Amino acid sequence: MPYVFEEDEAEVDIGFDVAVPEGWTQYDLTGDTVARMREQAVALYGNRPEELNALNDLLADIARVTKDATSGGLIAAAGTFEEYEDGFFMATVCVFSFPAGHGDQTIDPIRVIEYVYPEASTAREGAWLKKTTVDLPESGSPVCGRIYGVTDYEMDDALVRSAVMHTSYTLPGLDRRIMVSCSSPNVLQLEEVMDLFDAISGTARFWIMEDDPDDQQRRR
| Bridge partners (DSSP) listed for residue 206 | 16
- pLDDT of 36 strictly over 80: no
Which of 168, 165, 162 shows the shortest CA–CA distance to 195? Answer: 165
CA distances from 100 to 69, 76, 172, 208, 218 (A): 18, 19, 10, 19, 21
Q: Going along 63-158, which residue ranges are E strands?
A: 74-84, 87-99, 128-134, 144-154
Q: For residue 211, what pLDDT band results from cuts at 50, 70 and 90?
A: very low
Is 0.85 surpassed by the pTM of this model? no
**Sign of the torsion angle spanned by Cα atoms 103, 107, 109, 115:** positive
- pLDDT of 75 strictly over 50: yes
- Give the three-class secondary structure for 189: helix
- pLDDT of 185 strictly over 90: yes
Quote the percentage of the chain above a pLDDT of 90.
Answer: 29
pLDDT, tens digit (0-9, with 9 covering 90-100), for 80-120? 998 888 888 999 999 988 877 777 777 666 676 667 777 88
Sheet of 74-84: strand order equals 25-26, 74-84, 87-99, 176-184, 159-169, 144-154, 128-134
* Predicted local distance difference test score (pLDDT) of residue 212: 43
- Give the three-class secondary structure for 168: strand
In the predicted model, what is the mean pLDDT of residues 21-26?
91
The answer to whether 107 and 179 have CB atoms below 8 angstroms apart is no
Compute φ and ψ for 126, nearest 5 degrees: 95, -10
* Predicted local distance difference test score (pLDDT) of residue 71: 62
